[in-house]
Amino acid sequence: MSKPALGRGLGVLLGGNPPLTQTSTTPAVPAAVATPAPDDRERVQRVPLNQVRPSALQPRKEFSEEALRELADSIREQGIVQPLIVRARGGVFELIAGERRWRAAQLLNLPEVPVIVREADDRAVLELALIENLQRENLNAIEEAVGYSQLAEQFNLTQEEIATKVGKSRAAVANATRLLKLPAPVQSFLRTGRISVGHAKVILGLTDEKNQQFAAERIVKDGLNVRQTEGLVTKLQARATRSPGDTAKTPAIVPVDANIGRLEEKLREKFGTKVQLKYAHGKGAVEISFYSDDELQRVLEILGVNAD
């Protein structure tokens, strides 16, 4: 079965016209005679900028000031080429798509902006905002996770349903939402790119929030790669189970072969969990970690193993 395309697009999400099909044997009317009625949903309007508001459902919270200034420079020269997508809401227009253009227009103090007004419920707005940002790779890992969580909690969608809507695998959605289990300081490191998603997945192997935060701080301070972080987490786990009489030591970082590290990183991305590759002279083992029955089931599905 082929992977679905990313999202369903504006037309399907917001009520676009279905394709025409011919159901009778009567000859088709020539195109020159048949004049379709204009679709008001595609009509571009110009509205005052101060009547457009951002949406609380927008998953993206971080906007680069430098990127906005560059976009503003482009708009100053070329204008807003792609209209904003909005919906009427409480006497104003609420953004569905195009918040970056709206923010850049504010920098330029434009009096008005081009918009296309659509009808859309909250679920469609959130889906479309997620799809637009995922297509453009605009979301950081935490913003993406929050968006999936909103779809699950506000609209009772399963991870499988969310994955289908946004064109991701179920494993990708599950791995993303797990990041929200991290304490706020660690999530902040992830938002700002001080640690990677690979680092964060390894940190999730720790159950104590203080240890999770300690590991994240060590990653930032010492510039640890993912494999080194796994070594750190293993030692922190061992220290957590050590008897009170044992001497506590700061975990040491063990260097690893670069090729083994790259292979492990690929395996981690594949399975979305900690993977350890032990290799020596053509022999070794692959150890895949899981932390719940659901994660075990997901790993088995990736391997094509039926647990029944």
Tell me the pLDDT tens digit for each residue of 17-70. Answer: 444 344 444 444 444 444 444 455 568 899 999 999 988 887 777 787 888 899
The pLDDT, as a whole number, for residue 113 is 94
Q: Report the alpha-carbon distance of residue 116 to residue 118 in Å, rounded.
A: 6
**Could you tell me if 128 and 146 lie in one domain?**
no
Q: Count up the domains in the chain and report the number.
A: 4
| β-pair partners for 113 | 47
**Could you tell me if 58 and 92 lie in one domain?**
yes
For residue 115, the domain's CATH number is 3.90.1530.10
Q: Which of 283, 306, 268, 47 lies closest to 171, judged by CA? A: 268
**Could you tell me if 88 and 127 lie in one domain?**
yes
**Could you tell me if 157 and 232 lie in one domain?**
no
Q: CB neighbours of 218 closer than 8 A, spacing ≥ 6?
A: 224, 232
Of 42, 65, 99, 269, which one is the catalytic site residue? 99
**Could you tell me if 226 and 305 lie in one domain?**
no
In a domain, 263, yes or no: yes
**Could you tell me if 78 and 121 lie in one domain?**
yes
H-helix segments, 136-183: 141-155, 159-166, 170-178
**Could you tell me if 135 and 217 lie in one domain?**
no
In a domain, 249, yes or no: no
The pLDDT, as a whole number, for residue 47 is 92
**Could you tell me if 155 and 85 lie in one domain?**
no
In a domain, 16, yes or no: no
Q: CB neighbours of 205 closer than 8 A, spacing ≥ 6?
A: 233, 237, 274, 289, 291
Q: What are phi and psi of 183, to 5 degrees?
A: -65, 160
In a domain, 247, yes or no: no
**Could you tell me if 147 and 103 lie in one domain?**
no
Q: What is the DSSP letter of 179?
A: G
Give the residue numbers spanning the domain of 111.
42-139
The pLDDT, as a whole number, for residue 31 is 45
pTM of the model: 0.54
In a domain, 89, yes or no: yes
Cβ-contact 134, 144 below 8 angstroms: yes
Tell me the pLDDT tens digit for each residue of 214-237. Answer: 999 999 999 999 889 988 998 888
In a domain, 10, yes or no: no
**Could you tell me if 53 and 134 lie in one domain?**
yes
Per-residue tokens: 16: 């676009």
The pLDDT, as a whole number, for residue 282 is 74
**Could you tell me if 113 and 130 lie in one domain?**
yes
**Could you tell me if 59 and 112 lie in one domain?**
yes
Q: Report the alpha-carbon distance of residue 135 to residue 57 in Å, rounded.
A: 17
Q: CB neighbours of 300 closer than 8 A, spacing ≥ 6?
A: 306, 307
Instruction: Note if 160 is an active site residue.
Output: no
In a domain, 29, yes or no: no
Q: CB neighbours of 88 closer than 8 A, spacing ≥ 6?
A: 94, 117
Give the residue ranges of the chain where pLDDT is below 70.
Answer: 1-42, 135-137, 242-258, 291, 307-308
